[in-house]
Amino acid sequence: MSAILDTHFQLPGQTQFYRGKVRDVYTVGAYLIAVASDRISAFDHILPRPIPYKGQVLNQIAAYNLEATRDIAPNWLLATPDPNVSIGWLCEPIRIEMVIRGYLAGHAWRQYQAGIRTLCGVIMPEGMRENDPFPHPIITPATKAEEGHDEDVSKEEILARKLVTPAQYEQLEAYTQALFAKGSEMARKRGLILVDTKYEFGFRNGEIMLIDEIHTPDSSRYFYLDGYDERQARGERQKQLSKEFVREWLMAHGFQGLDNQLMPVMPDEFVDQISDRYIELYERITGQAFVRTDTSHIETRIERNILGWFVNKV
């Protein structure tokens, strides 16, 4: 199986190129072309080995969920001409990640375990256990860093730094709560719990639009609904379908993205396991069988399909 670590296209009319943690993003006129690579990141570091089919999974789950939530928030997506490609409107990004948490897990749990009870200005109740639900979902924003680590930030800090206006922030909160409610409803119908996720937004002609991916295993954490209550009552670890198990594997091998820590090399069997988990999540969240696209000439295929979209558009 071939996997995409990175791309180096020179598209007609291309004016900008940006390589993110996972996506290679090309700008052509008023359009953004996002190529979902098979890179995987954890602790704000890109791991050295790509994961076969991961990019296709992310791209197709994101497209599925963007289409399902258009009635809640306008979004950037126009077309998916290739299993690994999304094309949409070029927007001016808002430098805030709207993180929303329905359960005490991941980063929030690590903070809670350390004795911290206020996260991004939001008070977390006493007496909670790992993976307990919050009384209601909490929004814990982060600044969107160009490089390095994103940082937790409160609503008050966002407004003080004038990253958005008060009215714009209220709109971001409303979209975030409504999108999370829809994502949670969709997940439960498929036997999953949407634990936490993040949304990114941008401006196009003064309008706030949902951008990037939503409800994918890179941006979200899922638990299995079946057996959740029993595992929680017994104090057992929850069975989850997300990227957290990759972080846990890295931590078990002495890596948390800190200075002077050596990143461990993932063996073949673990790479295959990650790929299988991503595919399982696709099938779970969409209810559709995953079609493994031919990867023998993957970069040629992607470039041909991007160019074909522009030709057909003209």
- pLDDT band at 136, cuts 50/70/90? very high
Residue 7 lies in a domain: no
Mean confidence (pLDDT) of the chain: 94
d(CA 266, CA 3): 15
pLDDT higher than threshold 90 for residue 217? no
Candidates 71, 302, 314, 289; CA nearest to 179 is 71
CATH number at residue 237: 3.30.470.20
In this prediction, residue 314 carries a pLDDT of: 57
Entry pTM:
0.89
d(CA 247, CA 79): 32
Residue 66 lies in a domain: no
Domain enclosing residue 105, as ranges = 93-245
CA distances from 78 to 16, 85, 279 (A): 19, 11, 24
pLDDT higher than threshold 70 for residue 79? yes
| Per-residue burial over 216-231, b = 16 or more CB atoms within 10 Å of its CB, e = otherwise | bbbbbbbbeeeebeeb
Residue 183 lies in a domain: yes
Residue 9 lies in a domain: no
d(CA 107, CA 152): 10
In this prediction, residue 262 carries a pLDDT of: 92
Backbone phi and psi for residue 269, each to the nearest 5 degrees, phi listed first:
-65, -35
pLDDT higher than threshold 90 for residue 70? yes
In this prediction, residue 240 carries a pLDDT of: 85
* Total structural domains within the chain: 1
